[in-house]
């Protein structure tokens, strides 16, 4: 076994050298940081035109890198998008189509090959700080999926007491409950900066997975609510009066933005600023009653653009053109192959990777090949099934028996249903969805 592992390492090293030879200008084995902000909407950031929120640190990342205008979460809720990020595949291949509920029994199958496992095999040290939500850490935690170190929660704990909606303490260090005190966004930030400093001399992959801006809505100065041993579903939105939600949401975003500033400062003071690629993105759209999806229709949980078109930024000084905008249609499942490619690593063989390597569009703003993208979403609570297909400017949405077709080039707000005017386009996209959906038809709704 040991010998096999050494041979594997030699094999990977050999292949990665061969790949790197094609890109002699690229630094070898850059560090990679992925900042995932929970439920951040398309209109929530200063760099996306927000008139309400000020996000100077994130805006600085955007002005020094590439901002994406047509970037999509694989799903309009947390767990399925995160499964797609981790595997480079449609989340249906992991059997995860809805937010994983509060149970110890469900999770992303451990045999799924993840981006962290791929990078770990290649010598990267991998850390995850913040939200996991791919299964209870007692059975399906990040350290079971390639991460060397984790400070994480399963779901959406109280930001101060760290208690979940089912009254369990939900803050773990390497899968062990940890009772450290603190506001969760600050803890995520502190452990992320510690991880960077601890790994100055070796390549690392760090996922900074903010709990914010998910409810409970609690800014750093708002009171705690949840205590252990009690069910909190009825007060899932936190301790505040509804009229204070938007203010708390803004305070939560300010805390996240400051965290991004601290991470940047830590990279600069460690001399790693030019050796580190940063991706910043959201896992789904905002709830429009508290956040903003800009001019998009719909919100978290919908297959209208507001549910899945999200802010995203890529930053790598000297490599990714500064102050650039990218209008290609991109999906979160593209991140795994892209990151492996930027790290000079071969794509794993024998996997059905659905994501695309975005390297050329990141480094040269090159157009991507035409492709058709799919969303399928079964809502556990409302029992509604929906699907969407995107091809070029066209987007088809089916909900029950209702079929809608939109031209996103002229109608980004999805206000004009063109299905009856362009029945051939609608039929062609329906047929493509039927084909794509074949292997997943029997997937039980709602895991």
Q: Does 78 participate in binding Ca ion (rule CB under 5 A)?
A: yes
Q: Which helix (H) or strand (E) holds 405?
A: strand 402-407
Residue nearest to Ca ion according to CB distances in the complex? 78
**Closest CB 283 distance from Ca ion, rounded Å:** 4
Calpha distance 213→222 (Å, rounded): 14
Q: Which stretch binds Ca ion (CB under 5 A): 202-210, 235-243, 277-285, 391-399?
A: 277-285
Q: Does 39 participate in binding Ca ion (rule CB under 5 A)?
A: yes
Residue from 38, 44, 59, 170 that binds Ca ion (CB under 5 A)? 38
Q: Which stretch binds Ca ion (CB under 5 A): 11-19, 106-114, 151-159, 283-291?
A: 283-291
Instruction: Using the minimum distance from each CB to Ca ion, give the nearer residue, 97 or 283.
Output: 283
Terminal alpha carbon distance of the chain: 35
* CB-side neighbour CA atoms (13 Å) of 271: 4
Instruction: Using the minimum distance from each CB to Ca ion, give the nearer residue, 153 or 266.
Output: 153
**Closest CB 100 distance from Ca ion, rounded Å:** 12
Binding residues with Ca ion: total (CB under 5 A) = 5
Residue showing tokens 């200008």: 25
**Closest CB 433 distance from Ca ion, rounded Å:** 24
Residue 442: both structure tokens together? 């029997």
Phi, psi (deg, nearest 5) at residue 387: -140, 160
3-state secondary structure 76-110: CCHHHHHHHHHHCCCHHHHCCCCCCCCCCCCECCC
Phi, psi (deg, nearest 5) at residue 268: -65, -45
**Closest CB 179 distance from Ca ion, rounded Å:** 26
**Closest CB 383 distance from Ca ion, rounded Å:** 20
**Closest CB 130 distance from Ca ion, rounded Å:** 12
What is the 8-class DSSP label of residue 376?
A: E
Residues annotated as catalytic are 78, 133
Calpha distance 437→51 (Å, rounded): 40
Q: Does 338 participate in binding Ca ion (rule CB under 5 A)?
A: no
Instruction: Using the minimum distance from each CB to Ca ion, give the nearer residue, 83 or 363.
Output: 83
Residue from 168, 283, 398, 414 that binds Ca ion (CB under 5 A)? 283
Q: Any alpha helices (H) in 225-297, and if so which ranges?
A: 245-269
Residue from 91, 284, 329, 387 that binds Ca ion (CB under 5 A)? 284
Burial class (CB in 10 A: 0-12, 13-18, 19+), 443: middle
Q: Which stretch binds Ca ion (CB under 5 A): 281-289, 328-336, 379-387, 414-422?
A: 281-289
Q: Which stretch binds Ca ion (CB under 5 A): 39-47, 136-144, 195-203, 385-393?
A: 39-47
Burial class (CB in 10 A: 0-12, 13-18, 19+), 229: exposed
Residues that bind Ca ion (CB under 5 A): 38-39, 78, 283-284
């Amino acid at each position: 076994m040991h010998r096999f592992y050494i041979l594997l390492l030699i094999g990977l090293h050999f292949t990665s050298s061969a790949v790197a030879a094609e890109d002699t200008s690229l630094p070898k084995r850059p560090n990679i940081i992925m900042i995932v902000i929970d439920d951040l909407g398309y209109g929530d950031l200063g760099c996306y035109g927000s008139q309400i929120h000020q996000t100077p640190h994130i805006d600085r990342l955007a002005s020094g890198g590439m901002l994406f205008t047509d970037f999509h979460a694989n799903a309009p809720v947390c767990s399925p998008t995160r499964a797609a990020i981790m595997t480079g595949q449609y989340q249906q291949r992991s059997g995860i189509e809805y937010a994983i509920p509060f149970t110890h029994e469900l999770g992303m199958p451990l045999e799924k090959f993840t981006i962290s496992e791929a990078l770990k095999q290649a010598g990267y040290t991998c850390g995850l700080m913040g939200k996991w939500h791919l299964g209870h850490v007692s059975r399906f935690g990040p350290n079971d999926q390639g991460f060397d170190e984790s400070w994480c929660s399963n779901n959406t704990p109280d930001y101060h007491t760290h208690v979940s909606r089912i009254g369990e303490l939900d803050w773990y260090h390497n899968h062990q409950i940890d009772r450290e005190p603190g506001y969760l966004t600050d803890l995520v930030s502190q452990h992320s900066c510690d991880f960077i400093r601890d790994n100055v001399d070796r390549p690392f992959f760090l996922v900074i997975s903010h709990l914010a801006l998910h409810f409970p809505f609690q800014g750093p100065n708002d009171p705690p609510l949840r205590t252990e041993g009690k069910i909190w579903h009825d007060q899932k939105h936190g301790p505040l009066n509804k009229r204070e939600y938007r203010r708390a949401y803004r305070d939560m975003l300010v805390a996240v933005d400051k965290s991004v500033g601290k991470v940047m400062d830590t990279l600069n003071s460690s001399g790693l600023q030019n050796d580190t690629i940063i991706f910043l993105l959201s896992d789904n759209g905002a709830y429009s009653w508290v956040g903003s999806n800009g001019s998009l229709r719909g919100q978290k949980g919908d297959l209208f653009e507001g549910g899945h078109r999200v802010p995203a930024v890529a930053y790598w000084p000297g490599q990714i053109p500064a102050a650039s905008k990218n209008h290609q249609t991109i999906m979160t499942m593209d991140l795994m192959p892209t990151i492996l490619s930027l790290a000079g690593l071969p794509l794993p063989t024998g996997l059905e990777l659905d994501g695309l390597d975005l390297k050329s569009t990141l480094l040269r703003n090159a157009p991507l090949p035409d492709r058709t993208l799919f969303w399928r979403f079964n809502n556990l609570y409302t029992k509604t099934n929906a699907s969407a297909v995107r091809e070029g400017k066209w987007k088809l949405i089916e909900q029950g028996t209702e079929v809608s077709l939109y031209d996103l080039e002229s109608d980004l707000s999805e206000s004009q249903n063109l299905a009856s005017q362009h029945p051939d386009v609608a039929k062609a996209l329906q047929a493509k969805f039927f084909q794509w959906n074949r292997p997943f038809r029997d997937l039980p709704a709602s895991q």
